[in-house]
Amino acid sequence: MTVAQSPEQSASGLQINWQRLALWIGVLAMVLFCLAPALWQLLTSFKVNEAITAIPNVYFPSPSQLTLDHYLSLGWIFWRYIANSAIVSLLSTVVCLATGAPAAYALARLRIPGERIILVCVLIVSLFPYVLLFLGLLEVVRLFGLGNNYLALIVPYTGINLPLTILVLRSFFQKLPQDLEDSAKVDGYTTAQMLWQIVLPLTIPALVTTGILTFIFAWNEFIFALTFITRDTMKTIPVAVAQIGGASIYEVPYGPIAAATVLGTLPLILLVLCFQRRIVQGITAGAVKG
């Protein structure tokens, strides 16, 4: 409590505060940068048209400027879009895990000939932009008469997600103790039984991680959905939302678009909120293992 001590204390205290302050400013800027566009869209979706087009912009709308009309204007068809996205994403995730897990296991443990070549190809292929594929796939879709069929999306979505699935699952399988599988072999498990009864139950976290990534990528895919699906009732969220504006030339319906954005991305936001750690783990495992 002496007078001599206090300036020193406050000086050193101030020093630490500066560093923390800089950190918190950084954190704040980062959060703002990441959330602001989404929050602005959220706000827009609740504002009445007059508030949306007010100049200067309305950041804090009064209760009279708020409405649910934009959500109501989307109509029942929007639930159809969400259902389409959910069906396509879920099914392609399931198929992707069902075909990717055995492949990943074989590439992790069974030392098949050509293993390295397959892995390198899988890695390279994961870099391909989808625009290079849609032309050839369009022909396949036409050939099998799959236009406006969920299969026209499920198969390509499985394909584009398989590289990541294989690489991530393989890296998880390799981390399993080899003794467990040896023990299972001695106990009399066949390879298929071992995969199903020993390996997969032990790698459920990895399957969840991969499944979430696959689901998100499938939900967000745009170019295939735009090309292979033309019937309105079959459309998935990204295409449906992008085409809301196309109805009228003179007045872009900002409110409904914003409402559609919020509804259409809600499942993804929930996934991120619940599985943040797993998603981060998956992204790193998929890329670093390359």
Partner 1 sequence: MTQASDTIRQRQIRQGLIMVAPAIAILLLVFAYPIGRAFWLSLFTQNLGTQLEATFSGLSNYQRIVGDGRFWLTLWNTTVFTSLSIVTELIIGMSFALILDQAFRGRGLVRTAALLPWALPTAVMGLAWAWIFNDQFGIANDLLTRLGLISTNITWLGDPTRAMLALIFADVWKTTPFIAILLLAGLQSISGDLYEAHAIDGASPWQSFWQITLPLVAPQMVIALLFRFAQAFGIFDLVQVMTGGGPAGATETVSIYIYATVRRYLDFGYGAALVVVTFLLLILAVAIAAYFLSRTRLNVTGER
Partner 2 sequence: MSTLQLKSLRKQFAPDVIPVKDVNLTVEDGEFLTLLGPSGCGKSTLLRLIAGLEQPTAGEVRLGDQNLNRVAPGDRNMAMVFQSYALYPHMTVAENIATALKLRDVPKAEIQQRVGSVSEKLAITHLRDRKPSKLSGGQRQRVALARALVREPAVFLLDEPLSNLDALLREQVREDLKQLFEEQQKPVVYVTHDQTEAMTLSSKVAVLLDGVVQQLAEPSLIYTQPANRFVASFVGSPQMNLLTLKCEGDRAQLGPVGLPLPTGIGSPSTVIFGLRPEAIRLAQAGDSLKIPGQVFLVENFGREQLLSVRVENSDLKLRALIPPDQHWERDRLELTWTPEQSHWFDPQNEQRLETSSAAQPAHSSL
In the window 250-289, what residues touch partner 1 (CB under 8 A)?
254, 257-258, 260-261, 264-265, 268-269, 271-273, 276-277, 279-280, 283-284, 287-288
Interaction partner, residue 228 (partner 2, partner 1, none; CB < 5-8 Å by kind): none
Mind spelling out the 3-state secondary structure of the chain?
A: CCCCHHHHHHHHHHHHHHHHHHHHHHHHHHHHHHHHHHHHHHHHHHECHHHHCCCCCCCCCCHHHECCHHHHHHCHHHHHHHHHHHHHHHHHHHHHHHHHHHHHHHHHHCCCCCHHHHHHHHHHHCCCCHHHCHHHHHHHHHHCCCCCCCHHHHHHHHHHHHHHHHHHHHHHHHHCCHHHHHHHHHHCCCHHHHHHHHHHHHCHHHHHHHHHHHHHHHHHCCHHHHHHCCCHHHCCHHHHHHHHHHHCCCCCCHHHHHHHHHHHHHHHHHHHHHHHHHHHHHHHHHHHCC
Contacts of 243 (CB under 8 A, 6+ apart): 235
Residue 192 and residue 184 in contact, taking contact as beta carbons nearer than 8 Å: no
Q: Whole-number minimum distance, CB 174 to partner 2, in Å?
A: 16
Binding partner at 105 among partner 1, partner 2, none, C-beta below 5 to 8 Å by kind: partner 1
Can residue 107 be called a binding residue for partner 1 (CB under 8 A)?
yes
Q: Within 240-279, which residues bind partner 2 (CB under 8 A)? A: none
Q: Would you give the binding string for partner 1 spanning residues 162-181, x where CB under 8 A is met?
A: xx--x---------------
CB of 7 to partner 1, least distance (A): 26
190 binds partner 2 (CB under 8 A): yes
Number of residues this chain uses to bind partner 2 (CB under 8 A): 16
Q: Is 117 in the site for partner 2 (CB under 8 A)?
A: no
Residue numbers 51-80 binding partner 2 by CB under 8 A: none
- The answer for 231, left when phi > 0, alpha when psi is -120 to 50, beta otherwise, is beta
Binding mask 31-60 for partner 1 (x = CB under 8 A): x-xxx-xx-xx--x-------xxxxxx---
Instruction: Tell me: does residue 184 bind partner 2 (CB under 8 A).
Output: yes
Residue from 193, 230, 233, 243 binding partner 2 (CB under 8 A): 193
Interaction between residue 145 and partner 1 (CB under 8 A) = no
When binding is defined by CB under 8 A, the residue of 87, 123, 146, 202 that contacts partner 2 is 202
Using the minimum distance from each CB to partner 2, give the nearer residue, 175 or 185.
Answer: 185
Residue 187 touches which of partner 1, partner 2, none (Cβ within 5-8 Å per kind): partner 2
Of 142 and 185, which has the nearer Cβ to partner 2?
A: 185
CA dihedral 15, 21, 22, 25 (to 10 degrees): -170
Using CB under 8 A as the criterion, which residues of the chain lie in contact with partner 2 when the complex forms?
177, 179-180, 182-190, 193, 198, 201-202
